């Protein structure tokens, strides 16, 4: 592999997103006489501009998509390589791209982006919500569901639990309060009654600019698609669909198969230990039901103390964890 190396760089950064671009900017400016390479599959890169530290935990910035040539003009020691990475060889310190070229490196930084960590990758009852395609798949499945389990306590989970109607929702969070990333426990307790109250028939107008990939027909609920992922692709596959914005649920019908308006129960300090389907489950509740179940393990209780939930399908949030943190 060494004789095939086209060039060896001091630093090689893989990924043209915000993290990768920020990394090469810092490396190129701090080491102006050192060769730096950025390997990105696209012709454009994403950069942060107008950065402001508003408070201790709040930042404000703009994300701009610019041609990669802007970086090369700004940093003469930077080389941008337009190709996807095919393989990585740690012993020879080399990276092979999809077009067959090989580049050596002394230090490598991989900024290839985040992936959703599902409860399980191969269970047809588990759906991860992260992009427009998975939101469309959720809309389709929800129309036939009578009960779902939402696992996660992030922004998408907060919006989803509030928006879903016509379906029983069991919300599993590993924290002591809902939305602990965004507000304190007192504010969370104040918002709990709104989960069971009827939603206003007319929602407040959205004042933020929204970008979609399809223009909905007049009077028809909007569905989402992503250019890079075919409609028929399995939702469990991690695809490059557009990430969900704060108003992703606007115009999307999130209604289950039941006639009830809203019924939400929250299970605090819980994490999913194992998932059983009707075909392979070995533990059954005293009632004798054999419907698809999820076993929730409360960390303070010994492993023999399980809580059973029966649902149409469980819904997994990004970075949902399989085991308690203290195990």
Same domain for 152 and 40: no
Cβ atoms of residues 152 and 244 within 8 Å: no
Higher-scoring residue by pLDDT: 316, 319: 316
Cβ atoms of residues 119 and 151 within 8 Å: yes
CA distance 48 to 235: 31
Q: Looking at the domain assignment, is residue 213 inside a domain?
A: no
Nearest to 267 by CA among 153, 180, 119: 153
Same domain for 76 and 28: yes
CA distance 127 to 150: 10
Higher-scoring residue by pLDDT: 173, 48: 173
Cβ atoms of residues 157 and 195 within 8 Å: no
Which whole-number Å values give the CA distances from 127 to 19, 63, 182, 253, 269, in the listed order? 27, 29, 24, 17, 21
Same domain for 238 and 162: yes
Same domain for 16 and 104: yes
This prediction's pTM: 0.52
Same domain for 146 and 35: no
Same domain for 68 and 135: no
CA distance 9 to 80: 12
Cβ atoms of residues 313 and 141 within 8 Å: yes
Looking at residue 97, which CATH number applies to its domain? 3.50.50.60
Same domain for 137 and 64: no
User: What's the domain range around 305?
Assistant: 127-199+221-316
Q: Is the pLDDT of residue 215 over 50?
A: no
Q: Is the pLDDT of residue 52 over 90?
A: no
Q: What is the pLDDT of residue 244?
A: 59
Mean pLDDT value of segment 209-216: 46
Q: Looking at the domain assignment, is residue 250 inside a domain?
A: yes
Q: Is the pLDDT of residue 76 over 80?
A: yes
Same domain for 143 and 22: no
Same domain for 236 and 278: yes
Q: Is the pLDDT of residue 150 over 50?
A: yes
Q: How confident is the model at residue 293 (pLDDT cuts 50, 70, 90)?
A: very low
Higher-scoring residue by pLDDT: 80, 69: 80
């Amino acid at each position: 592999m060494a004789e095939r190396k086209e060039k060896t760089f001091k630093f090689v950064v893989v990924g043209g997103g915000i993290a990768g671009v920020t990394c090469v900017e810092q490396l190129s400016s701090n080491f102006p006489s050192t060769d730096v390479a950025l390997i990105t599959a696209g012709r454009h890169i994403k950069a942060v501009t107008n950065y402001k530290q508003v408070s201790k935990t709040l930042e404000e910035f703009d994300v701009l998509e610019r041609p990669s040539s802007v970086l090369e003009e700004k940093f003469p020691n930077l080389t941008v390589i337009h190709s996807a990475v095919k393989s990585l060889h740690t012993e020879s310190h080399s990276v092979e791209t999809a077009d067959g070229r090989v580049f050596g490196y002394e230090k490598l930084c991989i900024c290839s982006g985040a992936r959703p960590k599902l409860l399980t990758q191969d269970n047809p009852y588990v759906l991860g919500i992260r992009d427009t395609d998975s939101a469309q798949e959720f809309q389709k499945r929800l129309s036939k569901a009578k009960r779902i389990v939402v696992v996660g306590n992030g922004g998408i989970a907060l919006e989803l639990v509030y928006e879903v109607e016509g379906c029983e929702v069991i919300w599993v969070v590993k924290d002591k309060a809902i939305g602990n990333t965004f507000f304190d426990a007192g504010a969370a307790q104040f918002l709990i009654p709104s989960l069971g109250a009827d939603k206003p028939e007319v929602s407040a107008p959205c004042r933020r600019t929204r970008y979609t990939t399809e223009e909905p027909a007049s009077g028809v609920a909007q569905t989402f698609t992503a250019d890079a992922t075919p409609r028929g692709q399995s939702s469990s596959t991690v695809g490059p669909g557009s990430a969900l914005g704060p108003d992703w649920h606007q115009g999307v019908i999130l209604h289950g198969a039941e006639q009830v308006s809203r019924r939400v129960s929250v299970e605090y300090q819980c994490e999913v230990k194992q998932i059983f389907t009707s075909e392979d489950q070995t533990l059954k509740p005293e009632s004798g039901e054999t419907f698809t179940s999820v076993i929730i393990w409360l960390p303070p209780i010994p492993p023999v103390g399980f809580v059973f939930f029966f649902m149409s399908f469980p819904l997994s949030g990004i970075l949902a964890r399989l085991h308690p943190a203290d195990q």
